[in-house]
Structure 1
Amino acid sequence: MSAVPAPDPGPDAGAVWHHGDPFGEQRAAADGAVVIDRSHRTVLSLTGPERQSWLHTISSQHVSALPEGAVTQNLSLDGQGRVEDHWWQTELAERTVLDTEGWRGEALLGFLRKMIFWADVTVERADLAVLTLLGPGVADPAVLAALGVTTLPAESTAVALPGGGFVRRIPSTIPELDVLVPTSEAADLRKRLVAAGVRPAGVWAYEAHRVTELRPRLGVDTDERTIPHEAGWIGGPG
């Protein structure tokens, strides 16, 4: 069936809502395995020896000494403690990778660069695409082989991929992986996953899962007045 694009403007502009069977895609995510192209997200790369200590001073989470392979969520707050930005943060190979909503990418990039001052850190866009895999079937040997790994990472950890990029595991009631790969390789990886039995799905399937997990989304479940505790980003299931 034909892919149905998400509307533009909208939070998922540039993504596919579904591939003609949204309920079937949601069932496959629960019972098998699906791959969802979320490369409309903005990915940023932080390098430099002071990147962790610097980011620790301007964000909500304790990230000054994250170990290799660590995965966490993080926030930027305004002077009144209201949420301005949310991102997933991955520490790997002496680089900190942040990915956020596509519509907030340029604003977050500008904010981070503005806050550098004298710190030894560089913030750049990363040419990485985000693919999300959902479902118990992601642990199948054929799927792992298509990814280039032998086992699933532990929750809240990431491992490097042989061809560049990495795969990280998100805490979830069902297996959930984000695969960040060079944009030029994303289409080939998606084909290998489909050949391994993973069903293509749209962001509707991802949103259905996210809501089930009680995981808030910036700009969808929040507004300019939201504080972290209200959304569950601190002290809640999110």
Structure 2
Amino acid sequence: MQRPGAVAGTGLDAGVALHYGAPLPEQRSLDRGLAVTDLSHLGVVRVSGQDRGRLLHSLASQALNNLRAGDSTRTLFLTIQGRIDFDAKVVETEDATFLITERESAQGLADFLSSMRFMMRVEVTNETDEWAVLGARKPLVKNALTWTDPWPHVGAGGFAYSGAEHPAEDTTWVEQLIPLAELDATVDALVSNGIKLSGSMASEALRITDWKPRFGAETDEKTIPHELDLLRTSVHLAKGCYKGQETIARVHNLGHPPRRLVFLHLDGSEHTLPAPGSDVQLGGRSVGKVTTSALHYEAGPIALAVIKRAVDPESTLDVLDGSGATSPATQEVIVATDAGQVVGRAKGFIKPPSRT
């Protein structure tokens, strides 16, 4: 925020720069690996101790018991009903596991993990105020602790709910942890080497085009992972028991998620973008809400939305913003309408009564 032209972010991006005066060129530079984004509004939780892998593995939706130094993954911590309580980006070191999460979630996540230690040799600390986070398409800071996003590749035990082609298949994203006291000097060094600064508006636009959900944006108190295609990177379907696992298995094997994440191409004739929470309608009937929107440097006005699963993917939707303006929107399917029910309902266990 001390850099020339910085415009303060709001909402989930409060505390960092939204942009530095040139949002679209910043996007282009970031997408091409020529810029860096300050993501220091994120939270950081450190988990250390000999039993940390066993503790995290027992609570998380992802397999975390055999991580090696330098490994990266994503995981969720769920309610007993399978709804998302916490979303964490996981990076392992020799002596600790670091969890990058939304700042508002960091203390809650630390408290939850601490409460579940019992007799295990584990220490949990919220180190949000000790670290800065820099995001980019590739590592830019040598020897920094680096989380490499597995999205959108389907990991071991994962499952994709979108089609065979994914727009982020050939893209990368990393987040590097920098001691907060070294942030200014680190950014100065990057700029002197020709790296530009981009705001969170740029990283959010790229996130939308990568179909990547964000906790607190695409989620609400009812969200289950299936609705956001999170089984591909954040859930291991064969890791064993954890809180919420029954819902994960039941919906995946026998049911369907009630809602689905969708990518929207907005009409663009309006001069403003729909705000998060804007109503999405079909034939005058509400079918969902916009979760994030952006003006992309190539794709134009775009958005992510969560809508009812059964909405026809070929239908043109109407997006209503707070001013009463209506914008037509076409869909790209992220979560398929027939997602789930990979096994089908079992039959034949109950024998019909014999007739005598």
Matched, 1:89 2:90: yes
Residue in 1 aligned with 2:47? 46
Comparing 79-88 with 106-115, greater Cα deviation is found at: 106-115
Residue in 2 aligned with 1:195? 192
Match of 2:13, SS? coil
How far, CA to CA, are the matches of 1:169 and 1:63 in structure 2? 16
How far, CA to CA, are the matches of 1:175 and 1:233 in structure 2? 17
Match of 1:206, SS? helix
Given that 2:91 and 2:146 are in contact with CA atoms closer than 8 Å, whether structure 1 keeps it comes out as no
Displacement of 1:176 in angstroms is 2.6
State the TM-score, normalizing by the size of structure 1.
Answer: 0.83
How far, CA to CA, are the matches of 1:169 and 1:198 in structure 2? 19
How far, CA to CA, are the matches of 1:197 and 1:30 in structure 2? 15
How far, CA to CA, are the matches of 1:223 and 1:212 in structure 2? 21
Residue in 1 aligned with 2:323? none
Given that 2:33 and 2:136 are in contact with CA atoms closer than 8 Å, whether structure 1 keeps it comes out as no
Displacement of 1:177 in angstroms is 2.5
Given that 1:229 and 1:235 are in contact with CA atoms closer than 8 Å, whether structure 2 keeps it comes out as no
Residues 129-165 of structure 1, C-alpha deviations (whole Å, 9 max, x = no match): 111123xxx57xxx5xxx23xxxxxxxxxxxx2xxx4
Residue in 1 aligned with 2:257? none
Displacement of 1:169 in angstroms is 2.9
Higher-helix-fraction structure: 1
State the one-letter code of the partner of 2:32. D
Matched residues, number: 212
Residue in 1 aligned with 2:131? 128
Residue in 2 aligned with 1:99? 100
Displacement of 1:175 in angstroms is 4.0
Match of 2:74, SS? strand
Residue in 1 aligned with 2:66? 65
Residue in 2 aligned with 1:79? 80
Pick the aligned partner of 1:204 from 201, 205, 210: 201
Matched, 1:179 2:176: yes
Residue in 2 aligned with 1:167? 146
Displacement of 1:235 in angstroms is 3.4
Please identify the structure whose Cα radius of gyration is greater.
Answer: 2
How far, CA to CA, are the matches of 2:33 and 2:92 in structure 1? 29
The structure whose RCO (Cα within 8 Å, separation 6+) is larger is 1
State the one-letter code of the partner of 1:22. P
How far, CA to CA, are the matches of 2:216 and 2:149 in structure 1? 21
Match of 1:130, SS? strand
Residues 170-225 of structure 1, C-alpha deviations (whole Å, 9 max, x = no match): 34533432111111011111111111111100001111111111111001011110
How far, CA to CA, are the matches of 2:197 and 2:55 in structure 1? 39
Residues 74-98 of structure 1, C-alpha deviations (whole Å, 9 max, x = no match): 1000010011110100011221000
CA, structure 1 residues 175+235, in 2 after alignment: closer, same or farther (shift >3 Å)?
closer
Residues 78-125 of structure 1, C-alpha deviations (whole Å, 9 max, x = no match): 010011110100011221000100111121111111111111100012
Post-superposition, which runs of at least 4 consecutive aligned residues in structure 1 deviate over 6 A? none
Given that 1:43 and 1:128 are in contact with CA atoms closer than 8 Å, whether structure 2 keeps it comes out as yes
CA, structure 1 residues 32+55, in 2 after alignment: closer, same or farther (shift >3 Å)?
closer
State the one-letter code of the partner of 1:91. E
Match of 2:41, SS? coil
State the one-letter code of the partner of 1:169. T
Residue in 1 aligned with 2:253? none
How far, CA to CA, are the matches of 1:97 and 1:168 in structure 2? 9
Match of 1:234, SS? helix
Given that 2:68 and 2:94 are in contact with CA atoms closer than 8 Å, whether structure 1 keeps it comes out as no
Matched, 1:226 2:223: yes
State the one-letter code of the partner of 2:94. A
Residue in 1 aligned with 2:28? 27
How far, CA to CA, are the matches of 2:32 and 2:47 in structure 1? 37
Match of 1:225, SS? coil
In structure 1, runs of 5+ residues without a counterpart are 149-160
Residues 38-97 of structure 1, C-alpha deviations (whole Å, 9 max, x = no match): 011111111100000111111111111112211000100001001111010001122100
How far, CA to CA, are the matches of 2:81 and 2:146 in structure 1? 35
How far, CA to CA, are the matches of 1:194 and 1:133 in structure 2? 14
How far, CA to CA, are the matches of 1:62 and 1:117 in structure 2? 20
How far, CA to CA, are the matches of 2:172 and 2:225 in structure 1? 26
Pick the aligned partner of 1:4 from 7, 24, 48: 7
Match of 1:11, SS? helix
Given that 1:43 and 1:125 are in contact with CA atoms closer than 8 Å, whether structure 2 keeps it comes out as yes
